[in-house]
């Protein structure tokens, strides 16, 4: 699935990628250099193979995409990023969108259009002005004409931004959406700290306050899951496996289902425990979820 991230230079495209799928924090993206031409990043997300094309937005590159529109072909999802801190560029953004969209159409594509009203924050920006700009942006002809799915985004609300990106990635997969919602509901009812992710370390959902920021799992936990997965594959030679670690008062269990899905359960003995029934119910549900992921990756 090809996702094209498009917008004028400096509107925040690379930052959006980096703070969601790229595993960086908002502070780390402050001094990103401009993207030269375009960069393609590949991701396996819940069994779906995604290639995310970050199209550098400087004038010379914009010109070259339109001269070689083939590079825009096969876009399934077009994410257009509009910088709310630069209203003087709205008109230019409007015509850039129109040119890119026309080029994709001419290549036979029919992308789903998503719009990010980006930098919706008051980081070095005035609140009143921001709201004014938003109202002005909503009147842009391309937005009125195409009625894209809209999001108010900021890298400074990283968890929310990641949630939006996740929604966009799975929007075409109804069963998958239901399973993700199901997992969320389950976790909300449990007292143990739980993270559901895929074996590549993409967080699907968790119930730990203040834990996750981007889509990528924290590095130490990601490495732990990789290690467990290598053991499952090469030593146990099974589709699914469980691993556990205990110290005096803490217990950590990693369950891997059907090659793809992992459930990390962290139990602190000082805290009230969940009944074993509830935990095994969750694990059964996640096993079904894993089957679905396998189906999807075979369809893709």
Ligand X SMILES: Nc1nc2c(ncn2[C@@H]2O[C@H](COP(=O)(O)OP(=O)(O)O)[C@@H](O)[C@H]2O)c(=O)[nH]1
- Interface with ligand X (CB under 6 A): 7, 9-15, 29-30, 32, 34-35, 57, 118-119, 121, 123, 154-156
For residue 150, the minimal CB distance to Mg ion (Å) is: 22
For residue 62, the minimal CB distance to Mg ion (Å) is: 13
Smaller CB distance to Mg ion: residue 118 or 186? 118
- DSSP annotation of 85 reads T
Strands 2-6 and 38-45 come out as unpaired
For residue 137, the minimal CB distance to ligand X (Å) is: 15
Q: Say if CB 81 and CB 11 are below 8 A apart.
A: yes
Q: Say if CB 282 and CB 257 are below 8 A apart.
A: no
> Total residues contacting Mg ion (rule CB under 5 A)?
2
Smaller CB distance to ligand X: residue 35 or 205? 35
243 closest CA partner among 229, 223, 233: 229
247 closest CA partner among 270, 279, 275, 218: 270
Q: Supply the angle between the helices 174-188 and 276-299 in degrees, to the nearest 10.
A: 160
Tell me which of Mg ion, ligand X, none is bound by residue 123, counting a contact when its beta carbon lies within the kind-specific cut-off of 5 to 8 angstroms.
ligand X
**CA dihedral angle for residue 6, residue 152, residue 154, residue 85, rounded to 10 degrees:** 70
Q: From residue 5 to residue 24, what is the string marking binding to Mg ion with x (rule CB under 5 A)?
A: ---------x----------
- DSSP annotation of 10 reads T
CA distance 118 to 39: 20
For residue 86, the minimal CB distance to ligand X (Å) is: 10
Tell me which of Mg ion, ligand X, none is bound by residue 193, counting a contact when its beta carbon lies within the kind-specific cut-off of 5 to 8 angstroms.
none
Strands 193-198 and 261-268 come out as antiparallel
For residue 81, the minimal CB distance to ligand X (Å) is: 6
Q: Say if CB 99 and CB 134 are below 8 A apart.
A: no
Smaller CB distance to ligand X: residue 30 or 189? 30
Tell me which of Mg ion, ligand X, none is bound by residue 11, counting a contact when its beta carbon lies within the kind-specific cut-off of 5 to 8 angstroms.
ligand X
- Does 229 participate in binding Mg ion (rule CB under 5 A)? no
For residue 290, the minimal CB distance to Mg ion (Å) is: 35
Smaller CB distance to ligand X: residue 47 or 57? 57
Smaller CB distance to ligand X: residue 11 or 204? 11
Smaller CB distance to ligand X: residue 75 or 158? 158
Q: What is the widest separation between alpha-carbon atoms in the chain?
A: 64
Tell me which of Mg ion, ligand X, none is bound by residue 22, counting a contact when its beta carbon lies within the kind-specific cut-off of 5 to 8 angstroms.
none
For residue 37, the minimal CB distance to ligand X (Å) is: 12
Smaller CB distance to Mg ion: residue 34 or 141? 34
**From the list 18, 19, 35, 153, which residue makes contact with Mg ion (rule: CB under 5 A)?**
35
CB within 8 Å of 77: residues ≥ 6 apart: 1, 2, 3, 4, 111, 112, 114, 168, 171
CA atoms within 13 A on the CB side of 54: 19
Strands 48-55 and 38-45 come out as antiparallel
Site residues (vs Mg ion, CB under 5 A)? 14, 35
């Amino acid at each position: 699935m090809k996702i094209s991230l498009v917008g004028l230079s400096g509107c925040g495209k690379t930052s959006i990628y980096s703070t969601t799928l790229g595993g960086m924090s908002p502070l780390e993206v402050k001094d990103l250099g401009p993207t030269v031409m375009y960069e393609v990043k590949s991701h396996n997300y819940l069994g779906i193979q995604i290639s995310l094309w970050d199209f550098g937005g400087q004038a010379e590159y914009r010109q070259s995409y339109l001269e070689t529109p083939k590079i825009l072909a096969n876009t399934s999802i077009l994410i257009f990023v509009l910088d709310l801190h630069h209203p003087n560029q709205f008109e230019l953004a409007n015509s850039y969108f129109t040119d890119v969209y026309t080029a994709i159409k001419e290549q036979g594509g029919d992308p789903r259009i998503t719009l990010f009203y980006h930098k919706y924050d008051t980081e070095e920006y005035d609140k009143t002005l921001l709201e004014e700009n938003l109202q002005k942006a909503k009147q842009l002809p391309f937005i009125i004409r195409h009625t894209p799915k809209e999001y108010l985004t900021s890298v400074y609300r990283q968890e929310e931004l990641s949630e939006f990106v996740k929604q966009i990635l799975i929007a075409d997969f109804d069963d998958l959406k239901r399973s993700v919602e199901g997992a969320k509901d389950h976790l909300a009812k449990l007292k143990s700290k739980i993270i559901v992710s895929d074996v590549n370390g993409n967080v699907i959902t968790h119930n730990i306050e203040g834990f996750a920021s981007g889509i990528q799992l924290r590095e130490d936990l990601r490495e732990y899951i990789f290690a467990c997965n290598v053991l499952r594959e090469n030593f146990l030679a099974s589709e699914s496996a469980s691993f556990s670690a205990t110290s005096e008062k803490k217990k950590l269990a990693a369950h891997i289902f059907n090659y793809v899905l992992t459930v990390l359960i962290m139990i602190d003995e000082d805290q009230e425990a969940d009944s074993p029934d509830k935990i095994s119910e969750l694990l059964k549900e996640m096993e079904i979820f894993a089957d679905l992921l396998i189906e999807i990756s075979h369809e893709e």
